[in-house]
């Protein structure tokens, strides 16, 4: 297989891996909207809802984003070198 086509297919694979960022953004948007809706309905629960959003929504989504970025970089490194990065 020519070197260019291997690199091109690795770029396509990395792009597909990064499509998960769209899902992360969508999930954070929906969770934020529902959190604000809950705070608007019950303002005294604002601290509880914001703590829940931080620990159970935002931090796991950031971890997932880091994993997706790592996977896409590993895929790109496979296309540029014969050995492992």
pLDDT digits (tens, 9 = 90+) for 5-34: 777 888 888 888 888 888 888 989 999 999
0.75 surpassed by pTM:
no
Residue 36 lies inside a defined structural domain of this protein? yes
> Tell me, what DSSP letter sits at residue 44?
G
40 belongs to a structural domain: yes
Number of neighbouring beta carbons within 10 Å of residue 72: 21
For 62, the domain range is 22-78
Number of folded domains that form the chain? 1
- Say whether pLDDT at 75 is over 50: yes
Residue 17 lies in a domain: no
- 68 touches 18 (CB < 8 A): yes
Q: Is residue 5 part of a domain?
A: no
- Domain-embedded: residue 84: no
């Amino acid at each position: 297989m020519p070197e260019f086509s291997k690199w091109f297919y690795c770029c396509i694979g990395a792009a597909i891996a990064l499509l998960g960022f769209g899902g992360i953004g969508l999930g954070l948007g929906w969770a934020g909207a529902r959190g604000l809706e809950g705070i608007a309905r019950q303002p005294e629960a604002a601290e509880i809802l914001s703590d829940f959003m931080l620990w159970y929504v935002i931090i796991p989504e950031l971890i997932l984003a880091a994993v997706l970025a790592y996977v896409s970089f590993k895929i790109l490194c496979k296309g540029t070198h014969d050995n492992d990065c």
